[in-house]
Amino acid sequence: MRILVTGGAGFIGSAVVRHIVNHTEHSVCNVDKLTYAGNLESLASVSDNERYCFHRVDICDRAALDAVFLEFRPDAIMHLAAESHVDRSIEGPAAFIETNIVGTYTLLEVARGYWSQLNDSAKDAFRFHHVSTDEVYGDLHGITDLFTETTPYAPSSPYSASKASSDHLVRAWARTYGLPTLITNCSNNYGPYHFPEKLIPLIILNALRGKALPVYGKGDQVRDWLYVEDHARALCNVLVSGKVGETYNIGGHNEKKNIDVVKKLCSILDELRPLDTVNLDARAVMRESGLDGKNYRELISHVKDRPGHDQRYAIDATKIERELGWTPDETFESGIRKTVQWYLDNPSWVARVESGEYQSWLNKQYGKGTL
Ligand code: NAD
Ligand code: TYD
């Protein structure tokens, strides 16, 4: 297959691109605007592969998208490009409306125009796979309820509302125009190459520097964590074997309270990068702030809660397990250790993200293969 991936320079998109190049025979064209969240350095291991190409394109730019479709002639689209951070959506919703709603609409129209010109067998085989989130369902208050594929939509934040809108557009294009679509709604991802504005990488990197670990409110909100490579594998499975028009929820059966995730990260760091023998710089910073500097948990700081903060997300992944045979490889225990180890082993990726240097590198590099 020739797969056009949007948002392939982002956290999950880059895992999908690496998965396709490393574990399949498919070709992949990465279409990404390279916002602050796009980092081509996350694709360094595959960028020279002959089955990979990149175009710096905004999915709201119809003419540029048309040109990429004409040149690459995709058999399938995996649409991941989005503004993805809830806190940013609260500060400034406009970019979320633009990319997540207008961008998805534009991509659907370009895909529809291209698809309608295909011959009958290519038309049947074509797929538009829209990658969405469990946040469209709003939150759960009971401790046993789970999101299923038929849970009514009740988004809470500008981010989740914009993703819900995009899901509705995709369903409408399937029903009205017959575009062969697939939708997946996944729980919170974590793993390597995660931009350090999200909880898990933020906590790891702040702890390593002896900086406060901000926990919103009491930290009793629950998220259902999935290792990003398990998600990438699930997405490829759905693309190849999913039934047209269907929705699949993807989740790792790893419900954790935020405070417990933060404590877990602290205890892994206590083991892998002890303050009293290895991370003496962080201990000095902690001492200057009046802390003992004996363990990372001392850095936990409860801060003002997020407005409209969803209490609990939890996915029922029975459908994808039963129909497509997908299950996660990583437990939370194994995945979170791998993640901490990855951040310890990749200080240069981290340093370039923290300094913003990755963007100047990107600006020099994206020209390769750009229309
Ligand atoms: P991310 O923010 O890390 O990456 C988004 C990518 O999209 C970036 O490379 C960015 O440059 C690109 N992009 C943004 N606006 C664009 C535009 N207008 N045109 C082209 N490219 C643009 O996001 P992520 O965490 O990798 O999430 C990917 C997708 O998965 C999103 O659709 C998100 O809603 C969904 N999702 C994320 C999670 C999660 O836990 N992160 C969970 C479920 C679903
Ligand atoms: P986040 O990683 O932003 O993902 P999402 O909001 O999409 O679930 O946040 C995960 C959880 O962690 C969420 O309940 C908010 C909380 N959180 C904190 O407590 N402190 C932080 O600094 C951040 C970024 C998030």
pLDDT in tens, 151-178: 999 999 999 999 999 999 999 999 999 9
Pocket-testing residue among 4, 5, 6, 11, ligand 1, by greatest number of atoms within 8 A of Cβ: 11
pTM, to two decimals: 0.97
Q: Whose CA is nearest to atom 44 of ligand 1?
A: 133
Alpha carbons 188 and 204: distance in angstroms, whole number: 17
Residue 137 has pLDDT above 60, yes or no: yes
Q: Domains plus CATH for the chain?
A: 2-195+227-253+312-329 (3.40.50.720)
Residue bearing the bigger pLDDT, 163 or 253: 163
Q: What is the pLDDT of residues 203-245, one digit of tens each?
A: 999 999 999 999 999 999 999 999 999 999 999 999 999 999 9
Question: How high is the pLDDT of residue 363?
Answer: 57
* Ligand whose nearest atom lies closest to the CA of 201: 2
Question: How high is the pLDDT of residue 142?
Answer: 80
Question: How high is the pLDDT of residue 358?
Answer: 82
Average pLDDT over residues 42-62: 98
Question: How high is the pLDDT of residue 60?
Answer: 98
Q: Relative to the CA of 159, which ligand 2 atom is closest?
A: 7
Residue 327 has pLDDT above 60, yes or no: yes
Helix (H) or strand (E) holding 184: strand 181-186
Number of Cβ within 10 Å of residue 356's Cβ equals 9
Sheet with 2-6, edge to edge strand ranges: 52-56, 27-32, 2-6, 76-79, 127-133, 181-186, 247-250
Average pLDDT over residues 108-127: 98
Average pLDDT over residues 33-40: 97
- Give the residue from 66, 132, 60 showing the smallest Cα distance to 103: 60
Residue 366 has pLDDT above 60, yes or no: no
Residue 32 designated active-site: no
Alpha carbons 134 and 163: distance in angstroms, whole number: 10
Confidence grade of residue 367 (pLDDT, cut at 50, 70, 90): very low
- Averaged confidence pLDDT in the chain: 96
Catalytic residue selected from 41, 58, 134, 139: 134
Residue 159 designated active-site: yes
Ligand 2: lining residues by beta carbon, under 6 Å: 86, 188, 198-199, 202, 214-216, 221, 223, 258, 306
Q: Whose CA is nearest to atom 17 of ligand 1?
A: 58
Determine how β-strand 189-190 pairs with β-strand 76-79.
Answer: unpaired
Helix (H) or strand (E) holding 27: strand 27-32
Task: Using DSSP, state whether 341 is helix, strand or coil.
Answer: helix
Q: What six digits make up the tokens of 365?
A: 């590099």
Question: How high is the pLDDT of residue 62?
Answer: 98
| Cα 305–chain centre separation | 23
Helix (H) or strand (E) holding 130: strand 127-133
Q: Among the residues of 158-257, which ranges form H helices?
A: 158-177, 199-208, 228-241
Confidence grade of residue 370 (pLDDT, cut at 50, 70, 90): very low
Catalytic residue selected from 159, 227, 358, 366: 159
Inter-CA distances, 296 with 134, 209, 218, Å: 31, 10, 18
Write out 75-93 in H/E/C secondary structure: CEEEECCCCCCHHHHHHCC
Ligand 1: lining residues by beta carbon, under 6 Å: 6-7, 9-13, 32-35, 37-38, 58-60, 80-84, 99, 103, 131, 133, 163, 186, 188-189, 195
Question: How high is the pLDDT of residue 362?
Answer: 52
Residue 134 designated active-site: yes
Residue bearing the bigger pLDDT, 252 or 243: 243
In the reported structure, the alpha carbon of residue 10 is separated from the centroid of ligand 1 by a whole-number distance in angstroms of 6
Confidence grade of residue 361 (pLDDT, cut at 50, 70, 90): low
* Ligand whose nearest atom lies closest to the CA of 36: 1
- Give the residue from 135, 268, 119, 139 showing the smallest Cα distance to 208: 268
